[in-house]
Structure 1
């Protein structure tokens, strides 16, 4: 009778063959995204709009609660992947900016950030400083700040990515365009891009010799390269954004508007997730079936993204996301992060606490009126004219985008260096120039001719300068004829006026090219911050309490 027993070798071979063909279980990838951190090492004010449409104001963010949240989530998944969408530094509070933003780079290292797209603010101090922040070292265009917190600076342990920024002289990318992370055996391709319009929001001298290409086209060109290197799952990190009426934690929102929508629609279908930035808005939207997310700014939110992936084919089976508010106390911070922050605060305490003036109010607001004018904008414009008056300055202009926070004061209305620096963190210097009356009128019309123009970009003007505008008129013709006046006298188109502005505006920044046409130019080494501090110090208690509540009606909107 023939034996029914299989030879041992044959049985083993069949068993191994069965194992080889057994399908692998889907893999869950957990990603955490942040954007527009802007050096906010400590919690800051966050206006949260809920699903009911009501707005709640609270304090959120700061590296302690961020570290605690990431520690808790890593306990759930040790392979957590942390990514960013740019503007990690720049426009930072004094606690970071007074040390050349090195504390913020160190903080991102401690949080375990893997990669981030470049943002426009990474270019604030020029390409040399950007590359120093990436690679480390002390050779900086800001020698008074660099390597002063500690004797050496190691640079970012995460990778800055931008596949659309090219050195015009060499034709090579300024930083790598993409990288691949191995997460649970899945090759995750991260590709970065900064907004193509960086030239309109950065000083021309800071980005000289660089070209900024179309975001979607550049990313799509990188996809075959990433595939060839083994990438299975593709995630785009893009420093460009949009806005929506939906709550920041509304899943699959369908009302996203803005530049990021057109970019997302042009992306290779293989890219299922787009982490965006720049517009300082929280959202979890769907654009042509792909997730487009943003986590507000300043670490107020973190976006938790869960992707289920077939590890054999790399097929993304599902994508889900949540925006989590980071309120201090919700997560126990990492002790090393708390110790680091305490050290930075102690090293900074004396300078930040230095009193500079008594305001007479506890806050001067940057919120603008319906016409686009703000009390704080008035104050800054007055300060820069006062500083340059002996050099002939008659009119001062300030861009509202350069005013980063309200000017706050202590309970006794004393404001400090730290308060003032939080308002003007860029370290911009003041430039003088001559503009004709006709050029000034053309400049004012450019407030609405800009791409994606809004009333929030209405220039702030100094005392004695006034005009009226009518939004019912077409762009290019909104300034009411005869309304542009200096000290009550209509501007003469053919007369020359001496104008002062920060060097960002003077170079045509924020899409105001008329500034760049100014003549008889003088670039001074005087910082706008120093002008503001001096002005406040010379005028103790001069700010009326109403200064915090209303602008001075220098700019009027026709009703």
Structure 2
């Protein structure tokens, strides 16, 4: 049914003049709205470092300073508290790897203390990082949503009976659940600051599947970062986003000072990603490479804040309200996070103290009964140590399902003998004292010839006693001190058979060795690398538990390192 309404009475000339004046004033007000500055703070690669850790600052002239203690939740909280007094609308964001490969104080509790600390810090959103997938897709969702149904039941909900999950949102536009064809976790989140809607869109490096365990990400696909971000922008615009900020867990490297804005020498995969982004994107917050930089790629600002909370990036973005995408200016600075630079956040101080106390109690938790104690790290004349054997066996056992055949452990990574208490029961604190660094395990391929070269790198000179690698059960080698450096290894065997120079073998080592640490550059040449995210300490304690009651089986049946007489 159509309803007819009477025609409106004509306006008088005076009324028309008033209406026209009001309309023009409204247009002028819209066109003349003053620009507004949106303040953001960014971090990346926190890795559960609730406490301050070692950092080498860079002076304005580029010179490296003396190592200091920096970062940690308390320093970050103090800075954010001070900056929010300047702007209560400040947006705090991150670029991934907030958890995973964490120190014991966080990893003991499935990183729940770190997530709670980030909630207290008022984090709004973070790109997912590859380490967020370390314990698999199920655990990432639990960390987001809360609850205790975890693939790590010995750690989850152990510090507190209830875990509420992250109040911030992990974002990954390029991670798709193959079963649904939709993003596995949200692609974006929209925040409002000073009347402006800011769209935060996240992505994780496309190569994530090669650096985490395949079983944990089954059914997920990791697409091109820039393509996924660009696809998300129209939906963000439809929800009113006036400014787009990209958070991506991928990065680059530069020799420029991490504290100086305007670097133009950024290299690495992030550069190509940035160049492919929609023109609306003017700011890209990055991670993954643990670098500090404040760079330009074309007309876009690209930042990273080192790692472990050592730096925070402050960002002041000037935008024209009512003009979507109109970013007039971006100012950035990296700020060192050092205790005492800002008044303490007492709530965070109390929280970290509580976690420390809970962790101290956990250090006394029994792990396993040993056949005999202590297990010594002292090497025999050939370079073989009982504790070195035990650790190499443990990391091999932890990665057998990845096809690993040989485990290597560096002697410098074994800090103390494995001791035990009454009844030869080793507690967690005693195992943690053996492997205190929180190193993760890396699997890779090496040829027989490369393994030979690796072993030759144990001797730096003819007078050197060698920095001997500890090796796992099933692998053995012989060496002769009378031969020249570079040709001392006289034989290598795996499961009783000689290694062939041209055959590829799957090996595992901690991430320090995997990067060529301890002067073993051959590790860095390994191919088909898999960053498992598994802590060497976890592998060690799991192996001790599994071996409990097996008696003398912890001792090698035959020598693994044989020195010619």
- TM-score normalised per structure 2: 0.71
CA contact (8 A) 2:311 2:337 kept: yes
Which residue, out of 294, 307, 313, partners 2:317?
307
Q: Hey, what does 1:94 align to over in structure 2?
A: 104
Aligned-residue Cα RMSD (Å) equals: 4.6
- What is the DSSP-based 3-state SS (H/G/I as helix, E as strand, rest coil) of the residue aligned with 2:56? strand
- What is the DSSP-based 3-state SS (H/G/I as helix, E as strand, rest coil) of the residue aligned with 1:49? coil
Which residue, out of 213, 218, 222, partners 1:212?
222
2:113 maps to 1:106: no
> How far apart, CA to CA, are the structure 2 residues paired with 1:514 and 1:300?
28
Alignment of 1:248-327 (within 5 A): 248-314=258-324, 315-327=326-338
Which residue, out of 454, 467, 470, partners 1:462?
470
CA contact (8 A) 1:200 1:510 kept: no
User: Residues 126-169 of structure 1: CA distance to partner in whole angstroms, max 9, x if unpaired?
Assistant: 11100000000011111111111111010000010000001122
> How far apart, CA to CA, are the structure 2 residues paired with 1:231 and 1:61?
32
Quote the offset at 1:492 in angstroms. 3.7
User: Residues 419-464 of structure 1: CA distance to partner in whole angstroms, max 9, x if unpaired?
Assistant: 55642466x7x99x9x9xx954488999xxxxxxxxxxxxx95356
CA contact (8 A) 1:502 1:528 kept: no
> How far apart, CA to CA, are the structure 2 residues paired with 1:444 and 1:103?
44
User: Residues 510-535 of structure 1: CA distance to partner in whole angstroms, max 9, x if unpaired?
Assistant: 9844999xxxxxxxx9943338999x
Quote the offset at 1:65 in angstroms. 1.1
Q: Hey, what does 2:42 align to over in structure 1?
A: 33
Q: Hey, what does 2:28 align to over in structure 1?
A: 21
Which residue, out of 43, 46, 62, partners 2:72?
62
User: Residues 82-122 of structure 1: CA distance to partner in whole angstroms, max 9, x if unpaired?
Assistant: 00000000000011110110000001100000000000000
Q: Hey, what does 1:333 align to over in structure 2?
A: 344
> How far apart, CA to CA, are the structure 2 residues paired with 1:213 and 1:232?
26
Quote the offset at 1:326 in angstroms. 0.2
CA contact (8 A) 2:41 2:93 kept: yes
Distance change in 2, residues 1:353/1:60 (3 Å): farther
Q: Hey, what does 1:476 align to over in structure 2?
A: none
> How far apart, CA to CA, are the structure 2 residues paired with 1:255 and 1:526?
38
> How far apart, CA to CA, are the structure 2 residues paired with 1:246 and 1:66?
24
Distance change in 2, residues 1:350/1:229 (3 Å): same
Q: Hey, what does 2:61 align to over in structure 1?
A: 52
> How far apart, CA to CA, are the structure 1 residues paired with 2:250 and 2:478?
34
- What is the DSSP-based 3-state SS (H/G/I as helix, E as strand, rest coil) of the residue aligned with 2:236? helix
User: Residues 152-192 of structure 1: CA distance to partner in whole angstroms, max 9, x if unpaired?
Assistant: 01000001000000112221211011111111111111110
Quote the offset at 1:231 in angstroms. 1.3
User: Residues 489-508 of structure 1: CA distance to partner in whole angstroms, max 9, x if unpaired?
Assistant: 99442999998747999xxx
> How far apart, CA to CA, are the structure 2 residues paired with 1:483 and 1:161?
50
Distance change in 2, residues 1:28/1:381 (3 Å): farther
> How far apart, CA to CA, are the structure 1 residues paired with 2:530 and 2:83?
49
2:238 maps to 1:223: no
Q: Hey, what does 1:543 align to over in structure 2?
A: none
> How far apart, CA to CA, are the structure 1 residues paired with 2:345 and 2:70?
17
Distance change in 2, residues 1:143/1:236 (3 Å): same
Distance change in 2, residues 1:494/1:145 (3 Å): same
Quote the offset at 1:266 in angstroms. 1.1
Distance change in 2, residues 1:20/1:359 (3 Å): farther
Which residue, out of 348, 358, 361, partners 2:359?
348
> How far apart, CA to CA, are the structure 2 residues paired with 1:90 and 1:238?
17
Quote the offset at 1:327 in angstroms. 0.5
Distance change in 2, residues 1:38/1:500 (3 Å): same
Quote the offset at 1:64 in angstroms. 0.9
Q: Hey, what does 1:134 align to over in structure 2?
A: 144
Quote the offset at 1:14 in angstroms. 3.8
Distance change in 2, residues 1:220/1:45 (3 Å): same
Alignment of 1:354-393 (within 5 A): 382-385=389-392
- What is the DSSP-based 3-state SS (H/G/I as helix, E as strand, rest coil) of the residue aligned with 2:157? coil
Distance change in 2, residues 1:90/1:492 (3 Å): closer
Alignment of 1:415-494 (within 5 A): 417-420=431-434, 422-424=436-438, 440-441=448-449, 462=470, 485-486=491-492, 491-493=498-500
Distance change in 2, residues 1:156/1:62 (3 Å): same
Distance change in 2, residues 1:141/1:187 (3 Å): same
> How far apart, CA to CA, are the structure 1 residues paired with 2:69 and 2:204?
29
Distance change in 2, residues 1:177/1:390 (3 Å): closer
Quote the offset at 1:353 in angstroms. 7.5
> How far apart, CA to CA, are the structure 1 residues paired with 2:167 and 2:259?
30
CA contact (8 A) 2:284 2:302 kept: yes
Distance change in 2, residues 1:163/1:399 (3 Å): farther
Distance change in 2, residues 1:495/1:272 (3 Å): closer
> How far apart, CA to CA, are the structure 2 residues paired with 1:494 and 1:379?
29
- What is the DSSP-based 3-state SS (H/G/I as helix, E as strand, rest coil) of the residue aligned with 2:184? coil
User: Residues 461-489 of structure 1: CA distance to partner in whole angstroms, max 9, x if unpaired?
Assistant: 5356599xxxxxxxxxxxx9997843899
Q: Highest CA radius of gyration, 1 or 2?
A: 2
- TM-score normalised per structure 1: 0.72
2:156 maps to 1:146: yes
> Between Structure 1 and Structure 2, how many residues are aligned?
465
Quote the offset at 1:48 in angstroms. 2.1
> How far apart, CA to CA, are the structure 1 residues paired with 2:395 and 2:292?
41
> How far apart, CA to CA, are the structure 2 residues paired with 1:312 and 1:183?
14
